[in-house]
Amino acid sequence: MGRAVADMGTGVVEQAALATLLATRGLDRHLRRMRRHYAARLAALLAALAREMPAGTTWTEPTSGNVVWLTLPAGVDPERLQQAARERGVAYSRGEAFYFDDRGGENLALSFTSLDAAAIAEGVAQLAAAIREVTVERGRGHGGHRVRVRPKGRAPARRPAGRSVDAAG
């Protein structure tokens, strides 16, 4: 009786549409198209991070999911960063929301599914500028980049598996 009380079941039109989608293999085509779509947005985000992030910033290269986990460089005040990012029109989820204790303050969850490549590039550039603005340790410029595997235990608990990338200076 629980579902009947909540919503009286799925409508006939929705059931018919889903049945047609399944019978015509339309769902398979849609999933292939969406996977390509989101893969392109993920690639745009990873490229922008590699191009823009200051030294000491690390991030994941996820193998699944719709979030890239970014770890802030030493010396960044998460409160000041959130304000500076908001002033630049950048929103993200703070890492603390994914923990039940006091961890995660140095982590940001960056979602890429709802933005096109140009918006992703602009958002990452603005986030990188905000990070530079609030970094306590000045002089940590925008050096070269190298790839490394993140040591176990450093990433948020809900982060999907994947490689970690480090903007090294």
Q: What is the pLDDT of residues 96-106, one digit of tens each?
A: 999 889 899 99
- HSE-CB for 92 with a 13 A CA cutoff: 34
Residue 119 contacts residue 44 (beta carbons within 8 Å): no
Task: Tell me how far apart the alpha carbons of residues 71 and 104 are, in angstroms, rounded to a whole number.
Answer: 9
Task: Tell me how far apart the alpha carbons of residues 31 and 36 are, in angstroms, rounded to a whole number.
Answer: 9
Residue 160 contacts residue 63 (beta carbons within 8 Å): yes
What's the pLDDT at 157?
44
What's the pLDDT at 97?
92
- 38-151+160-167 maps to CATH 3.90.1150.10: yes
Q: What is the pLDDT along the chain (169 residues), one digit of tens a residue?
A: 565 556 667 789 999 998 999 999 999 999 999 999 999 999 999 999 999 999 999 999 999 899 999 999 998 999 999 999 999 999 999 999 998 898 999 999 999 999 999 999 999 999 999 999 998 644 444 443 333 333 334 444 444 445 666 665 4
Q: Is 150 helix (H, G, I), strand (E, B) or coil?
A: coil
Residue 140 contacts residue 118 (beta carbons within 8 Å): no
Q: Where along the chain do its domains lie?
A: 38-151+160-167
Given the structure tokens 């970094």, which residue do they identify? 135
With b meaning 16 or more CB within 10 Å and e meaning fewer, what string describes 7-31?
eeeeeeeeeeeeeeeeeeeeeeeee
Given the structure tokens 């019978």, which residue do they identify? 23
- Report pLDDT digits (tens) over 131-162: 999 986 444 444 433 333 333 344 444 444 45
